[in-house]
């Protein structure tokens, strides 16, 4: 049985452990120790990582009550090694996990909703079984950070069976014995197996970034501590760059972006109107000598090709194709009376490398052939 040092001291960074077993599993070696400060994955939190001697441990799992350290190299059974966990990684996980407990406790007290899902990986999400508004989440966030400022003690302990019966605590499972409780006085009492900060002040800051409806409730995207600082730093730099590019003060950046977007939308509409007029003028000046013609114009998208092909048909009848692109990669729209067009398009697809289709007198798609080959087909 491995002694769980992480249960007693969440801030223990180094220890000495003796190898009890070492078994090759796949590309890794599953190592058991007589004692460990490595937290195995559980409770929604990823495992610790670090070193046993000079051998890297990338993952820690608990299977059938046995804690397995997955190491890159085999280790000698019976030998004692100096072990070191990646404490920056551990502390980041503790900041987020303890922050999640604070949010969950406050949501439960204010609104009666239960935490029904928690995942802490590169990002942290928290799920509740009821919907919350942005205003409600702002209140939760304010109270959560108030708990951080008060630097409340975070206590982890195993109550007796009798104590557990009288304890009002959150738990996703119906636990009866050997229950580890993490308590943040006045904020939250919850069954949890993971390491936590010793006091709420270590979390630094709690930020609810976003939320969405999820399975009849709500899913929160949350960052705490260093993760929240990194997020703020990145967003501040983005706002600063946007402000500089738009020659706007930072508080006015969003208004400047809206103004720019409106200007671009207006210019896009104006450009579309000019293209439509140009297409109409192109079609008006078209004087075909045959009942089938392919017209090539640079810079037209599929909608504009449809407009041109339709205008050509309206002015001259027959089967009219509009193409844009380059040899080997042309987009097209072809218009004509449906029966004649259908026959033509079947032959067109058989003769050339064509992808596309359509109905009601129009066909569209792409053709992977040369302009010369396309024109030759239309001129048959």
Domain residue ranges of the chain, discontinuous segments joined by +: 3-85, 91-233, 274-378
- By percentage, how much of the chain surpasses pLDDT 90? 68
Residue 206 CA to residue 183 CA, distance in Å, equals 18
Q: Which of 62, 65, 63, 74 is nearest to 27 (CA)?
A: 74
What is the topology classification, in CATH, of domain 91-233?
Answer: 3.30.980
Query: Measured in Å, how far apart are the chain's first and last C-alpha atoms?
Result: 86
Asked, colleague to colleague, whether 3-85 and 274-378 share their fold, the answer is no
Q: Give me the DSSP letters along 171-230.
A: -SS---SS--EEEETTTEEEE--S---SBGGGG--EEEEEEEEETTEEEEEEEETHHHHH
Instruction: Write down the pLDDT at residue 175.
Output: 65
Res. 28: pLDDT tops 70: yes
Residue 67 CA to residue 11 CA, distance in Å, equals 19
Instruction: Write down the pLDDT at residue 60.
Output: 97
Q: What is the mean pLDDT of residues 54-68?
A: 95
Instruction: Write down the pLDDT at residue 81.
Output: 96
Enter the pTM of the model.
0.73
Confidence of residue 176 (pLDDT cuts 50, 70, 90): low
Q: What kind of architecture, by CATH, is found in domain 274-378?
A: Roll (3.10)
347 C-beta neighbours (distance < 10 Å), count? 11
Q: What is the mean pLDDT of residues 215-219?
A: 94
Choices 2.60.120.1440, 2.40.30.130, 2.40.10.10, 3.30.110.40: CATH for 3-85: 2.40.30.130
Beta bridge partners of 359: 362
Confidence of residue 289 (pLDDT cuts 50, 70, 90): confident
Q: What is the mean pLDDT of residues 138-153?
A: 97
Instruction: Write down the pLDDT at residue 173.
Output: 66
């Amino acid at each position: 049985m491995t002694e769980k040092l992480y249960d007693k001291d969440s801030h223990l960074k180094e220890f000495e452990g003796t190898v009890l077993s070492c078994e090759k599993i796949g590309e890794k070696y599953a190592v058991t120790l007589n004692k460990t400060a490595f937290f195995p994955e559980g409770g929604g939190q990823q495992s610790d990582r670090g070193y046993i001697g000079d051998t890297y441990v990338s993952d820690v799992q608990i299977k059938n009550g046995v804690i397995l350290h997955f190491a890159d190299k085999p280790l000698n059974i019976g030998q004692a090694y100096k072990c070191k966990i990646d404490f920056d990684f551990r502390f980041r996980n503790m900041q987020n996990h303890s922050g999640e407990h604070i949010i969950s406790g406050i949501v439960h007290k204010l609104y009666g909703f239960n935490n029904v899902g928690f995942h802490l990986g590169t990002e942290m999400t928290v799920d509740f079984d009821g919907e919350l508004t942005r205003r409600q989440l702002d209140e939760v966030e304010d109270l959560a950070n108030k708990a951080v400022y008060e630097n409340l003690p975070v206590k982890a302990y195993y109550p007796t069976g009798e104590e557990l019966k009288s304890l009002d605590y959150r738990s996703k499972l119906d636990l009866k014995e050997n229950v580890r409780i993490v308590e943040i006085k006045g904020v939250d009492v919850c069954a949890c197996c993971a390491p936590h900060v010793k006091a709420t002040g270590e979390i630094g800051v709690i930020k609810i970034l976003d939320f969405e409806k999820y399975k009849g409730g709500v899913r929160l995207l949350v960052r705490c501590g260093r993760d929240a600082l990194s997020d703020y730093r990145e967003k501040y730099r983005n706002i600063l760059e946007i402000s500089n590019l738009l020659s706007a003060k930072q508080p006015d950046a969003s208004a400047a972006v809206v103004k720019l977007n409106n200007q671009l939308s207006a210019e896009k509409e104006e450009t579309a109107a000019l293209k439509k007029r140009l297409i109409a003028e192109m079609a008006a000046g078209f004087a075909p000598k045959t009942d089938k013609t392919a017209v090539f114009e640079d810079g037209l998208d599929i909608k504009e090709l449809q407009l041109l092909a339709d205008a050509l048909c309206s002015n001259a009848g027959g089967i009219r194709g509009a193409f844009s692109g380059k040899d080997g990669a042309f987009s097209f729209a072809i218009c004509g009376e449906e029966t004649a067009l259908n026959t033509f398009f079947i032959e067109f697809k058989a003769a050339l490398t064509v992808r596309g289709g359509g109905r009601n007198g129009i066909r569209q798609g792409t053709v992977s052939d040369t302009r010369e080959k396309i024109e030759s087909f239309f001129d048959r």
